Amino acid sequence: QVQLVESGGGLVQAGGSLRLSCTASGRTFSRYAMGWFRQAPGKEREFVAAISWSGGISTTYADSVKGRFTITRDNAKNTVYLQMNSLKPEDTAVYYCAAREGYGGTVYYTGARYTDWGQGTQVTVSS
């Protein structure tokens, strides 16, 4: 089990950028596949981006964020990042990071496949 803490959320104008961080406890962070999800008010949680464990770096993105968001990881810091550029009002949501034991280059874009979740960080994009 790993504990996750997100940070970096806030209020930004449309077109702006934010970088979210998710720091994990534990010594085996490099073996975890990581993901970012978001949930807007009145909507279901949706997949944003995912990255495989360090054995085979693969990434995948939701179509709605492809080309604007980038997921990366720094295993020395036990941290996964979500760089968000060209933000739109529809990106407004609570953003959650998630973790699960990884296998090779596999990425996971279904929330049910993850075993550990952070508490979330609010991102608000004004028009």
- Rounded to whole angstroms, the Cα distance separating 54 from 112 reads 21
Q: What is the pLDDT of residue 55?
A: 63
Token pair of 123, please?
């991102």
* Nearest-angstrom CA–CA distance, 58 and 41: 30
Q: Which helix (H) or strand (E) segment is 90 a member of?
A: none
Q: What does pLDDT average to over the chain?
A: 94
Task: Find tokens 């492809």 and name the residue.
Answer: 66
Angle formed at CA 78 by CA 112 and CA 69, multiple of 5 degrees: 65
In this prediction, residue 56 has a pLDDT band, given cuts at 50, 70 and 90, of: low
Longest dimension (CA), the chain: 41
Q: Is the pLDDT confidence value at 64 over 70?
A: yes
Q: What are phi and psi of 24, to 5 degrees?
A: -110, 150
